[in-house]
Amino acid sequence: MMKRDVHFILNGRPATLSVEPRTTLLRALRDWGVTSVKRGCEEGECGTCTVVVDDLAQKSCMMLALEAEGKSVLTAEGLVGPKGELHPIQQAFIEEGAIQCGFCTPGMIMTTYAFLRKNPDPSEEEIRVALAGNLCRCTGYIPIFRAVQKAAKTMRELGQLPGGAR
């Protein structure tokens, strides 16, 4: 099948990928070497492929790569600082033991990233609802909810969320 170029911003840098029209964003990103984006169900059910597109959490298996034209795409790789510093969400997941096999983790983190920018001080119930589309077979979820609350607190204190330090 004929390939076409798609141009978008990937983790803050311009990217041009050559893709078939049927290629999903998930497959295009993985072919490009962005391996934090996990290929799970490819049916929109598990959330392991979640990335942030123009500030919204998006299951990349449910989006064609060509639909990313002109947009900004953020993955877990893009959260890491220039000297390899982990993002507060990544750090909180480690500190709270919210990672076991790790397969769900990048998707959880990207959903959390988009969610906290809209709700910087969420209740546990709100976190549960926000992460309802991300499945984890290992942790039992409780450490993940704790990690999201810890990350929110850290990000508020660092002024990284709307509402600033609290």
Binding residues for ligand FES, rule: CB under 6 A, are 39-42, 44-49, 59, 61, 99-105, 136-139
Q: How far apart are CA 124 and CA 50, in angstroms?
A: 21
Q: Which is nearer to ligand FES, 32 or 103 (CB)?
A: 103
Q: How far apart are CA 62 and CA 44, in angstroms?
A: 6
Max Cα–Cα distance, the chain, nearest Å: 54
Q: Residue 57 CB, nearest distance to ligand FES (Å)?
A: 11
Q: Which is nearer to ligand FES, 86 or 165 (CB)?
A: 86
Q: Which is nearer to ligand FES, 143 or 160 (CB)?
A: 143
Q: Residue 116 CB, nearest distance to ligand FES (Å)?
A: 19
Asked if 26 and 60 count as a contact pair (C-beta separation under 8 A), the reply is yes
User: Which amino acid appears at position 48 of this protein?
Assistant: T
Q: Residue 52 CB, nearest distance to ligand FES (Å)?
A: 14
Take residue 91 and report the two structure tokens written for it.
């750090």
Q: Which is nearer to ligand FES, 19 or 61 (CB)?
A: 61
Q: How far apart are CA 39 and CA 50, in angstroms?
A: 10
Q: In terms of Cα–Cα distance, which of 87, 94, 96, 88 is closest to 143?
A: 96
Q: Residue 101 CB, nearest distance to ligand FES (Å)?
A: 3
3-class secondary-structure state, position 135: coil
Q: Residue 83 CB, nearest distance to ligand FES (Å)?
A: 27
Q: Which is nearer to ligand FES, 136 or 161 (CB)?
A: 136
Tokens 């993002």 sit on residue = 87
